[in-house]
Structure 1
Amino acid sequence: MRGADLINPALPDELLDDVIRRVGAGPGGGKRDLDACALVCRRWRRLERASRRSARLAASGERADEVLRLVAERFPALADVSVDERLTAAGVVGAVPRSRRPRQAPTSSPFRRRRRLPLASNSVHIAPFPLDQPAGDDGSEHSCLTDVGLTHLSRGCRGLEKLSLIWCSAISSTGLVRIAENCKNLTSLDLQACYIGDPGLIAVGEGCKQLKNLNLRFVEGTTDEGLIGLVKGCGQSLVSLAVATCVWLTDASLRAVGSHCPNLEILSVESDRVQDEGVISISKGCRQLKTLKLQCISAGDEALDSIGLFCSLLESLSLNNFERFTDRSLSSIAKGCKNLTDLVLNDCQLLTDSSLEFVARSCKKLARLKVNGCQNMETAALEHIGRWCPGLLELSLIFCPRIQNSAFLEIGRGCSLLRTLYLVDCSSISDSALCHIAQGCKNLTELSIRRGYEIGDQALISIAENCKSLKELTLQFCERVSDTGMSAIAENCSLHKLNLCGCTLITDSGLTAIARGCPELVYLDISVLRIIGDIALAEIGEGCPMLKEIAFSHCPEVTDVGLNHLVRGCLQVESCQMVYCRQITSAGVATIISGCSRLKKLLVEESKVQETHGFFAAVLTACFVPTLPVGYFVAPYPNANMSRHL
């Protein structure tokens, strides 16, 4: 019968709840279907809200505490909540199904309108000031999240399992104590850059016995006492711990971690005050470690020897800014950690070729290697990797001026599975090195070269002929690369991402070849190509319909005409950077905004914003960030939801 309700009387809440959950698990995430369910009636809305499991909120804005209170009341089943003070109102979107129409925001404040974007199912993203609710009784409005908001969350969502508080500078131990008292099922806590005192951490240790993941990066306000109290309470359950750039961290904390966290698998420690004793305590007490990142300037060989001796399960190791350890300790690690697959060495000045020889001969499972600023390493170091590590998948060399071309002959011969190669500021490497790689590593999918002043067309031709699976190519400031190399790449490789910033020999002809040969391109950076013009943009517009991000800053020959051709073909563009293009006017800015309906970020000079007239002037003026020399904008015309992008 028309108008009759045949479902609600027949289905109890349990069955209807199961139906809604199945809808949320449907194809494409079921987000639209869930929202539709919430609009059927009040009962369906109540049950749909009870199925929401995650929320991401901005903490900077008016009435942030009030927002968290409303979220906790409306979505009591939330298990995963992320609050980020770096986000603005438009950094997240309001997508709560509502029974009544929101009030219109005042025209003088375009930031108060809320955007609706696709979300994952069973999740809700909330802007920090709902428009359909009155102000608090006391009329107070907070500019960021405080302990009051955390108290509301802890009381409303007692089943909370994951809580992330990023740069929430106004919260303190008081709010964290409330979380510890009410959210006993908490398994993950991220307090990055929060000012939390010792009582808060101690309370978490006492109240959250199931805590597995803890992030204390950039946390101030606490001391060793706080971390020691926490691990004494819940150290047995901790699996992952990050304590980085915290000036208070000393060996006392690491001794406690070693004593109370036997199940720890992931550890990140960055501190200038940690000595050998702290690292040794970790090695002896946390023998289940699989991932270890250390930046301890005062630690030396004795500390790292203990890692090789006690941490035999280690798979990923990152050593940063060590000024004292030598080849001896890396040899100990190589002998004891046979399962090592990932190794990062940053600014370890005393290491020589012998270090990587030890690693190569002992760690046959090595798949990813990054060497940055280890200036004493020469060609022999890389030759050992090529000879002994056939499973290498990723190789990154940054500021390694002593490594010569011959090293890549061994890499090409021995590492046929290599997929990713990064070369940054390696001044001795030329075309022949890349030819060796191309001939031996035919599975290469990503190649990134920055400031490769000796790299030219010969290398690109060899890469194009041999590496047909190449999808991402970066050639920043490779000044010998020309249209010849680009034509070879375009003919043989269907790229998805291409960065040619600073390759000054490339002209419209080379970009025309790319546009016609790489129709699946989604990212393109052609900044500082001073001789390209409108023809290049016209060809890109015609040949690359899937393009989402484009940058052509410092291109003096590009005009509004080229922009017009670009936007007519590239309808998917979300990000555009065009700073200091002297022939692009305010009319070109308006062309980008009006022609790209999905635009989220636009980078352009302030002066061209001020010259823009009419509707676009109002949009850009509202969105402009005046503290920067150039402005970031979010301008998704024709939607009137404009907001800052920081």
Structure 2
Amino acid sequence: MRGLFDRINALLPDELMVEIFRYLESNENRQAASLVCKRWLALVRLSRETVRIGFSASTDALVQRLIDRFVNVRDVTIEDFPFTSLALKNGGACLLDQCPLIGNGKSKDNGMRKCCLSDSGLAAVGDGFTKLERLTLIWCPNVTHLGLISIAKKCKLLKSLDLQECCVEDKGLAAIGEYCTRLEDLNLRRCKNLTDTGLVQLAFGCGRTLKSLGLAACRSLTDVSLEAVGSHCGSLESLSLDSEFIHNKGLISVANGCPLLKSLKLQCGNIEDEAMLAVGNFCLLLELLALYSCRKLTDKSLCAIGKGSKKLKNLSLSNCNSLSDMGLDSVAVGCEELMHLEVNGCDNIGTSGLKSIGNSCTRLSGLAFLHQQFLQIENDALCQFGIGCKYLHSLHLSDCSGIGDEVLCAIARGGRNLKKLYIDDCHLVGNEGIISVGQNCKYLADLVLHHCDGVGDAGIIAIARGCPQLSYLDVGGLKNLGDKGMVALSEGCSLLKDLVISKCPQITDLGLSYIARNCTSLEACNIIYCPGITKAGVTTLITGCQKIKKLLVEEHKPNQLQHLTFLEILELGGFGMEALLELFGNLSSLRELTLDACKA
């Protein structure tokens, strides 16, 4: 057998082997291949095109080690944000001895910035990864315009640049525009130091190739920036904006100058109908429109979209209280290709608008109707989606006080392809509707029934029997759900990976033991405020579910926590550091620890 392997290995050229190794997606497979022989080790390194670096004790040093190992990298992500929420004081170093993967244990204000990527580290990225095409930097507070100038000069093949929450200044952005003339995607989300000066220079330099531009939470940008985008970025397809300083003039410039625009996300409180009329008239290829807190927009805006943007597939409306059913009617009539609709906190959109969407948009696959508690939605409005929208696979209803079992039964019978169902604080929903879902929606994978007081064991048993592909279940706050439902889940939903049973007073250690016995794929579990679950029950769960990585508990004391990577503990009272160490045992794999309302 070894001789056959040697002959095959000798016949395959390096170029072909490198191409084969590029199909190894997981680190485990790549590492296994690199251990076969020295030749494979070298070729696996040559095949590596993607590098991702999380928060570490010294990002600069880690970058240098990766540069020495991998020479063909085209995609680099450096995420310096410290994910641990634990700030250690008074002997906290002892806890780090128990949990070495948490990091250096310091808060941001306590020296954590010293570990983050610096300008010299970013310069090393440019020197070492000469084929770089995609660069993502998230919360890298030490990177200044000097680092960006360096990377811009050295990485002229760059096509995608993501600088979320970095301290980007105008000089750095100007350099990107000057040298990165192939840039297509740029995300500047939460880059709060930017002004119009930098963005104008960027647009002038590389605007010709730019296809996607993210300016969310760049609060200092004004119409001047958008006028530059409209003048120089004629190939732009995606734009996101969030600024109170943006008015009609800027958005009209974009609409006139960017006819290829397909995605537009706006959180601009001073934009008026005049600007959206321009979008409807000139952005005829628009497929996604999201409007957040655009308080000055009226139904005239949606009428313009319905009349001009015939290719619209995704519409999100959030806290736009001047929009009403009349505007949504226009979208329904004009945008028959609509596939996803989200309405969140729009107090004047209700029964009539939903009926129009259900009647006209037969391709709809996703509907989210959230926080409409001040409106009494007639059941037949949502029932229409069960009749006319046979492709519906995602439904999210939250705080819809008038919605009950009749709606769920109609949707379940008509939408048999439903994969995601989120019902949150809909108190008229009971077992009847959920039983219908279990009987009709066999492809259901995600189910949320948060605080739906009328649902109990009968509904969950039906789900367990009829939805074998269920992987995520949130039944938090179901006061009538007990161990019978848990037993049924363990028998029918063995693929369950994420379970939330918080605030379920009737679930006990017995029900949890069945989950531990049969749901061995479980990775996350939330069991806070469950008085029937004791320390023994939590320990049984952890012992039985070896893949569990995320656990939300209260004052329980499980003993087998070695493989946990995330732990959240609520309302732990009267514990000092020594008691805390005893409680945790040896958490050698822990990466994130949250202590909420825990008093020493």
Q: Same fold (TM over 0.5)?
A: yes
Q: C-alpha offsets along residues 324-375 of structure 1, whole Å, 9 cap, x if unaligned?
A: 1111111011110111110000111011111111011111111100000110
Does 2:293 match 1:293? no
Whether the 8 Å CA contact 1:603–1:630 is kept in 2: the answer is no
Whether the 8 Å CA contact 2:101–2:588 is kept in 1: the answer is no
Q: Using the alignment, how far apart are the partners of 2:530 and 2:587 within structure 1?
A: 25
Work out which of the residue numbers 589, 599, 603 in structure 1 matches 2:568: 603
Give aligned-pair identity as a percent. Answer: 36
The aligned counterpart of 1:36 is 35
Q: Using the alignment, how far apart are the partners of 2:437 and 2:46 within structure 1?
A: 54
Does 2:594 match 1:629? no
Three-state SS of the structure 1 residue aligned to 2:167 is coil
Work out which of the residue numbers 49, 54, 68 in structure 2 matches 1:53: 49
Whether the 8 Å CA contact 1:579–1:630 is kept in 2: the answer is no
Does 2:551 match 1:552? no
The aligned counterpart of 2:321 is 349
Residues 105-120 of structure 1 mapped to structure 2, 5 A cutoff: 110=97
Query: Could you tell me which amino acid in structure 2 is paired with residue 590 of structure 1?
Result: N
The aligned counterpart of 2:88 is none
Q: C-alpha offsets along residues 55-99 of structure 1, whole Å, 9 cap, x if unaligned?
A: 1113x4443323323333332322111111114699xxxxxxxxx
Q: Using the alignment, how far apart are the partners of 2:457 and 2:590 within structure 1?
A: 42
Relative contact order (alpha carbons < 8 A, sep ≥ 6): 1 or 2 greater?
2
Residues 304-343 of structure 1 mapped to structure 2, 5 A cutoff: 304-343=276-315
Whether the 8 Å CA contact 1:164–1:191 is kept in 2: the answer is yes
Work out which of the residue numbers 348, 359, 378 in structure 2 matches 1:387: 359
Work out which of the residue numbers 554, 557, 571 in structure 1 matches 2:546: 571
- Give how far 1:16 is off: 3.1
- Give how far 1:615 is off: 10
Q: Using the alignment, how far apart are the partners of 1:475 and 1:44 within structure 2?
A: 50
Change in CA separation of 1:286 and 1:358 when aligned onto 2, cut-off 3 Å: same
Three-state SS of the structure 1 residue aligned to 2:505 is coil
- Give how far 1:201 is off: 0.6
Q: C-alpha offsets along residues 239-284 of structure 1, whole Å, 9 cap, x if unaligned?
A: 1100011121100000000110111111111111000001100100
Three-state SS of the structure 1 residue aligned to 2:427 is coil
Does 2:428 match 1:454? yes
Change in CA separation of 1:109 and 1:443 when aligned onto 2, cut-off 3 Å: closer
Query: Could you tell me which amino acid in structure 1 is paired with residue 61 of structure 2?
Result: E
Change in CA separation of 1:219 and 1:614 when aligned onto 2, cut-off 3 Å: closer
Q: Using the alignment, how far apart are the partners of 2:158 and 2:207 within structure 1?
A: 14
Three-state SS of the structure 2 residue aligned to 1:304 is helix
Three-state SS of the structure 2 residue aligned to 1:590 is coil
Q: C-alpha offsets along residues 414-443 of structure 1, whole Å, 9 cap, x if unaligned?
A: 112211110011112122221221232222
Query: Could you tell me which amino acid in structure 2 is paired with residue 483 of structure 1?
Result: D
Q: Using the alignment, how far apart are the partners of 1:27 and 1:256 within structure 2?
A: 41
Query: Could you tell me which amino acid in structure 1 is paired with residue 449 of structure 2?
Result: L
Query: Could you tell me which amino acid in structure 1 is paired with residue 58 of structure 2?
Result: R
Change in CA separation of 1:89 and 1:178 when aligned onto 2, cut-off 3 Å: farther
> Which region of structure 1 is more displaced relative to structure 2, 513-522 or 525-534?
513-522
Gaps of 5+ in 1: 91-105, 116-126, 129-140, 632-646
Query: Could you tell me which amino acid in structure 1 is paired with residue 53 of structure 2?
Result: L
Does 2:66 match 1:71? yes
Q: Using the alignment, how far apart are the partners of 2:165 and 2:290 within structure 1?
A: 22
Query: Could you tell me which amino acid in structure 2 is paired with residue 601 of structure 1?
Result: F
Q: Using the alignment, how far apart are the partners of 2:145 and 2:482 within structure 1?
A: 59
Query: Could you tell me which amino acid in structure 2 is paired with residue 557 of structure 1?
Result: G
Whether the 8 Å CA contact 1:77–1:157 is kept in 2: the answer is yes
Work out which of the residue numbers 431, 438, 443 in structure 2 matches 1:464: 438
The aligned counterpart of 1:635 is none
Q: Using the alignment, how far apart are the partners of 2:32 and 2:586 within structure 1?
A: 36
Change in CA separation of 1:298 and 1:319 when aligned onto 2, cut-off 3 Å: same
Whether the 8 Å CA contact 2:132–2:158 is kept in 1: the answer is yes
Residues 230-241 of structure 1 mapped to structure 2, 5 A cutoff: 230-241=202-213
Does 2:509 match 1:534? yes
Q: Using the alignment, how far apart are the partners of 1:391 and 1:383 within structure 2?
A: 14
The aligned counterpart of 1:590 is 559
- Give how far 1:558 is off: 0.8
The aligned counterpart of 1:277 is 249
Whether the 8 Å CA contact 1:61–1:88 is kept in 2: the answer is no
- Give how far 1:222 is off: 2.3
Q: Using the alignment, how far apart are the partners of 1:50 and 1:167 within structure 2?
A: 29
Three-state SS of the structure 2 residue aligned to 1:55 is strand
Equivalent residue pairs, number? 574
Change in CA separation of 1:233 and 1:558 when aligned onto 2, cut-off 3 Å: same
Change in CA separation of 1:603 and 1:206 when aligned onto 2, cut-off 3 Å: same
Q: Using the alignment, how far apart are the partners of 1:441 and 1:225 within structure 2?
A: 51
Gaps of 5+ in 2: 86-92, 105-112
Whether the 8 Å CA contact 1:89–1:112 is kept in 2: the answer is no
Q: C-alpha offsets along residues 376-418 of structure 1, whole Å, 9 cap, x if unaligned?
A: 1121111111111111101000012322212122222211221
Whether the 8 Å CA contact 1:180–1:203 is kept in 2: the answer is yes
Query: Could you tell me which amino acid in structure 1 is paired with residue 52 of structure 2?
Result: R
Query: Could you tell me which amino acid in structure 2 is paired with residue 500 of structure 1?
Result: V
CA RMSD of aligned residues (A): 3.1
- Give how far 1:24 is off: 4.1
The aligned counterpart of 1:617 is 585
Change in CA separation of 1:354 and 1:217 when aligned onto 2, cut-off 3 Å: same
